[in-house]
Amino acid sequence: MTWNLWWRFGPLAERSTAIRDVLREVRPDVLGLQENWTRGDDSLADRLAEDLGLYCIRAESDAPGGWRRRLDEPEADAWGVGNAVLSRWPVRDSATLRLPTAAGTDDGRLCLHALLDAPGAPVPFFTSHLNSGLAESAVRVGQVRALARFVAERRAGHAHPAVLTGDYNACPDSDEMRLLGGYRTGPAVPDQVLIDAWEWADPSQPSATRMAQNPYVAARRDPGVRLDYIHVAEPGPGGLGHVRGVRRAGDGPVGGVWPSDHAAVVAELGDGA
Per-residue pLDDT at 72: 87
Q: What is the 3-state secondary structure (H, E, C) of 13-48?
A: HHHHHHHHHHHHHHCCCEEEEEEEEEECCEEHHHHH
- Shortest CA distance to 193 belongs to which of 248, 152, 247? 152
Per-residue pLDDT at 74: 87
CA distance 70 to 214: 20
Residue 167 pairs in a beta bridge with: 129, 228
Per-residue pLDDT at 272: 78
Per-residue pLDDT at 103: 86
Spatial CB neighbours of 235, under 8 Å, sequence gap ≥ 6: 161, 241, 242, 270, 272
Residue type present at position 106: D
Could you give all domains of the chain from N- to C-terminal order, each with its CATH number? 2-269 (3.60.10.10)
pTM, full prediction: 0.97
Cβ-based burial of 226 (10 A; exposed 0-12, middle 13-18, buried ≥19)? buried
What are the b/e assignments for 240-258, b being 16+ CB within 10 Å?
bbbbeebbbbbbeebeebb
Per-residue pLDDT at 156: 95
Residue type present at position 165: T
Divide the 273 residues of the chain into consecutive groups of 10 and give the mean pLDDT of each group: 98 98 98 97 98 98 96 93 98 98 94 96 98 96 98 96 98 95 92 95 94 96 96 95 97 98 97 79
Per-residue pLDDT at 189: 95
